Amino acid sequence: MIDKSSPLPIYYQIEEQLKKQIENGELKPNDSLPSEREFAERFEISRMTVRQAINNLVNDGYLYRQKGRGTFVSEKTGAAARWINEFYRRYESARNGTKQ
């Protein structure tokens, strides 16, 4: 859910929501995403905001685009995303001196 009153940028909220859906298996490799226009209408936000979120996820390897076909979930996202999240969690735990 997008919270327009949150101090977090809307594009970041969209990114995090999509990442969570990918990581928990709601969105599977090669699943197609709605168009930027559909996202913008659903969340009542600008298409440019949606584009920024999707471009960031494409750059991070979570999604890929096919010209004339749409935007899709990357196949290698699952393992890579889990590894990165686990690494970051361990890093933060070590930095903060807490147990995992």
Residue range 48-71, pLDDT digits in tens: 999 999 999 998 889 999 999 999
Rounded distance between C-alpha atoms, residue 13 and residue 74, angstroms: 20
Residue range 18-40, pLDDT digits in tens: 999 998 889 999 999 999 999 99
Structure letter (DSSP) for residue 32: B
Question: Of 41, 37, 45, 35, which Cα lies nearest the Cα of 13?
Answer: 45
Contact 89, 51 (CB under 8 A): no
Question: Of 63, 61, 58, 54, which Cα lies nearest the Cα of 28?
Answer: 63
Q: Taking 80 as the threshold, does the pLDDT of residue 76 lie above it? A: no
- Global pTM? 0.73
Please, which residues bridge with residue 32 across strands? 72
